[in-house]
Copies of this chain bind each other. A is one copy, B any other.
């Protein structure tokens, strides 16, 4: 009952009576082979068990049809959403995506990059680790293949394409909203190892100054080695609440995960963010983490356009693939955030 296994195209050609080069052309593009041959090959393939060798097929082609993606964490729904959107866009464009996670480790990130190089992927899309990233790795990839950074970008890196969110816009929008509806926000930040976190912090400060308000930033110190974002938010806010500080303030968190920790701290201290319409404690986040609608209270935040970012990254890669030799200028594409007003602020 099991179909006979065939290992090489040579055997296949003997088995179904079509020449090997014709088979080769068929597998690459069936339309390049005559109708009658297509039929014969189709029915032949139904009768046997053959899978073209992945390595042999890619070795001699100029294009491998693969793109490599690196994300820094796997335990963060925001990055997995980004990865998902990239995978969808790439799949739709006919690519095979090889995804790797750097697990917060520059060495693993570098290894993943080397893997991409040795596999001759057609292009790479990577989200940097943060301050610990080895910029040399990005430069190396950028020099060798179409390359796009997404999500965040190292300050010191120049000439590399980038797709992400306009944090100046998104953060300003949130600051404006919070000021309009209540007291000016304090900014609950993070240790400055994350580029986006710094960008948002700076955007907050700039916007506050523009509005003639005094920016207040808390939580930049490390609360615990390797602490999750949530525990950082929880630790910082618990600390303040316990001292009777910020009890009726507006807290803009650097991201939703930190905000979830802040919400927990509030609940622990019997506070209900957003309960009073225009006063009392309010907490807001950034990113629109998938769980935001289900927190207590649901978290007001600003959504990043994840799908647009993924699509744009893949689009840009294809653009560079087609242009190949032309030294196109660096392109930086920033998407606008969108307010998601729920009840926490």
Binding site for B on A (CB under 8 A): 2, 51-56, 58-59, 74-75, 77, 80-81, 83-84, 87-88, 91, 96, 98-99, 101, 103, 108, 114-115, 117-120, 143, 228, 230, 234, 260-261, 263-264, 267, 290-291, 293-298
Q: Is the CB of B55 within 8 A of A296?
A: no
- Distance A155 CA – B258 CA, assembled complex (angstroms): 41
Partner of A75, one of B53, B91, B234, B290: B290
CB <8 Å contact, A53 and B228? no
When the two chains form their complex, are residues A261 and B87 in contact, meaning their CB atoms are under 8 A apart?
A: no
A232 to B218, CA, bound (A): 37
Interface contact A87-B59, CB-CB below 8 Å: no
When the two chains form their complex, are residues B52 and A55 in contact, meaning their CB atoms are under 8 A apart? no
Q: A285 CA to B202 CA in the complex, in Å?
A: 40
For this chain, the copies found in one complex come to 2
Give 5 nearest A-B pairs by CB, closest first: A55-B55, A54-B118, A267-B296, A296-B296, A54-B119
Q: How far is the CA of A87 from the CA of B87 in the complex (A)?
A: 19
Cβ-defined partner of A228 (8 Å) among B2, B56, B99, B290: B290
Could you tell me the distance between the alpha carbons of A197 and B98 in the complex, rounded to whole angstroms? Answer: 31
Pick the contact of A101 from B51, B87, B267, B290 — CB < 8 Å? Answer: B87
For A84, the chain B residues whose CB sits under 8 A away are 74-75, 101, 103
By a CB distance below 8 angstroms, the chain B residues around A143 are 2
Separation of A234 and B291 alpha carbons in the complex (Å): 12
Report yes or no: A53 in contact with B118, Cβ–Cβ below 8 A: yes
Give chain B nearest CB distance to A70 CB in angstroms: 12
Contacts of A115 in B (CB 8 A): 54, 96
Chain B residue numbers with a CB within 8 Å of A118 are 51-54
> Could you show 29 A-B contacts with beta carbons less than 8 Å apart?
A2-B143, A51-B114, A51-B117, A52-B118, A54-B115, A55-B55, A55-B56, A55-B119, A55-B120, A74-B80, A74-B83, A77-B77, A84-B101, A84-B103, A87-B101, A87-B103, A88-B103, A91-B108, A96-B115, A99-B99, A230-B293, A230-B294, A260-B294, A261-B294, A263-B296, A264-B298, A291-B291, A295-B295, A295-B296
Residue of B nearest to A91 (CB): B108
B77–A75 contact, CB under 8 A?
yes
What B residues does A295 contact at CB under 8 A?
A: 264, 295-296
Listed residue (A54, A115, A267) with the most chain B CB atoms within 10 angstroms of its CB: A54
Q: Contact check: which of B59, B75, B96 meets A55 at CB < 8 Å? A: B59
Complex contacts, A80 vs chain B, CB 8 Å? 74-75, 80
Closest to A97 in B: B100
Counting chain B CB atoms within 10 Å of each CB, the highest count among A74, A91, A143, A263 belongs to: A74
If A53-B118, A54-B119 are given as contacts, then 8 extra A-B residue pairs at C-beta distance below 8 Å, sorted by A number, are: A53-B59, A55-B55, A75-B77, A75-B80, A88-B103, A260-B291, A260-B294, A263-B296
> Distance (Å) between the CB of A93 and the closest chain B CB?
15
Q: Tell which of B52, B58, B120, B267 touches A297, judged by Cβ atoms closer than 8 Å.
A: B267
Closest beta carbon of chain B to A114's beta carbon, Å? 6
Contact A294 B59 (CB under 8 A): no
Chain B positions within 8 Å of A260 at CB level? 291, 294
